[in-house]
């Protein structure tokens, strides 16, 4: 009995040491008054398209579109990333990039016209594709091979509309066909 107690105590000690040594990276709240995309310098809206990288030194980098976050990764590599986050399209909950499921279609309106939308699970992504009648479902791993081209038509329309519209109209530009 004493032998098992020592084994249990040793295992508990190792578990506590390992758990304490891991650094936890958490996403920061979006502040629409001051947060701008690290890549395109556009306002980061507190919406389903916001993404974020927390660096290993704790710095939070915010992006208005997952395509901008991808561009930052391409330019800077991933060695200094502690964790990267996307938002669930339906409830805006922060989710880890690698655990999300993505849907792409060039017709989807996103802030910088990359057309990639994130979901916390595959079922939500499948439901979205079914409702929209369009879209290709991708895992985070498959997204790494994505072409990341902006839809020129959507980008031109976004830039033109933003020049002469107030914030409410700008927000309408980021909605899908069902008003989400």
In the numeric block, the tokens 């997204």 are attached to 143
pLDDT of residue 38: 97
At 90 the pLDDT is 97
Residue matched to tokens 């032998």: 3
- Check residue 166 and give its pLDDT: 44
pLDDT of residue 160: 43
Q: Which residue numbers in the chain have pLDDT < 50?
A: 156-180
Q: What is the pLDDT of residues 101-137, one digit of tens each?
A: 999 999 999 999 999 999 999 999 999 999 999 999 9
What's residue 135's pLDDT?
A: 97
pLDDT at 8: 55
């Amino acid at each position: 009995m004493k032998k098992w107690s020592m084994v249990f105590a040793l295992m508990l000690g190792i578990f506590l040491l390992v758990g304490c040594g891991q650094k936890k990276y958490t996403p920061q709240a979006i502040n629409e008054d001051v947060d701008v995309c690290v890549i395109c310098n556009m306002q980061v809206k507190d919406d389903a398209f916001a993404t974020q990288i927390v660096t290993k030194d704790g710095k939070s980098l915010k992006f208005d579109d997952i395509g901008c976050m991808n561009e930052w990764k391409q330019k800077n590599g991933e060695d200094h990333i502690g964790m990267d986050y996307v938002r669930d399209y339906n409830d805006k909950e922060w989710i880890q990039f690698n655990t999300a499921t993505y849907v792409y279609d060039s017709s989807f309106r996103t802030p910088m016209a990359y057309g990639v939308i994130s979901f916390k699970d595959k079922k939500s992504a499948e439901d979205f594709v079914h409702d929209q009648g369009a879209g290709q479902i991708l895992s985070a791993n498959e997204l790494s091979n994505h072409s990341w081209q902006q839809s020129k038509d959507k980008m031109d329309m976004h830039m033109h509309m933003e020049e002469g519209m107030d914030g409410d109209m700008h927000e309408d530009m980021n909605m899908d066909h069902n008003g989400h």
